[in-house]
Structure 1
Amino acid sequence: MSTYQELLAQKAELERKIENARKQELADAIAQIKALMTQYGITVADLAGKSAPGRSGSTKGSKVAPKYRNPATGDTWTGRGRQPKWVEAALAGGKQLSDFAI
């Protein structure tokens, strides 16, 4: 039967071998990734999930240009969401939405 000290030495040796194997496999994986990136012309930006040129990303939270203006007050509305009270009042008064188009 092995002694406690012998088992600790074996454990340390095994941990060293595990770390060396991990480093070698990591280096091999990085080399393979670099080769594939070169072969296909992939950049780090491509891997980071940047959108392709000419395509916009998420538009959530971005400003939208107004489409309608109240000529009396200058208030504007993008045409999205609930209609402002001035639009509701004007539509109820017989006007059309196209009357307020910018």
Structure 2
Amino acid sequence: MAKSLKQVLSQIEKLKKEADSLRAKEISGVVARIREAIDHYGLTAEELFGAGATKPAGRGRAAKTAKASAGARKVKAPRGAGAPKYHDGAGHTWTGVGKRPNWFKDALAAGKTAEDLLIG
């Protein structure tokens, strides 16, 4: 006899709960082994995660779900502009990364080469 959609969805829900339970048991075992190794070797957070580690990072499904539900969003720190690689002698510079600026295109159209525009 063929199963109904309702029966299949019910089975899926039961299997998801069972998988979550098994995952939680496995995680607790892994965490216990990691803690035992940390205690045995006397490791610090700095040794494990680097100099910037001041508190444990929230990793895993629960942390991601909590962040997502709270509307938290990870923001990347802005990068520096980088060192200029090209200049035109009129104060325009370009790092050589990203879209070519108009002054660079104009200089190339006027007969200069990229090597001519390189900074010393």
Q: State the TM-score, normalized to the length of structure 2.
A: 0.42
Q: State the TM-score, normalized to the length of structure 1.
A: 0.49
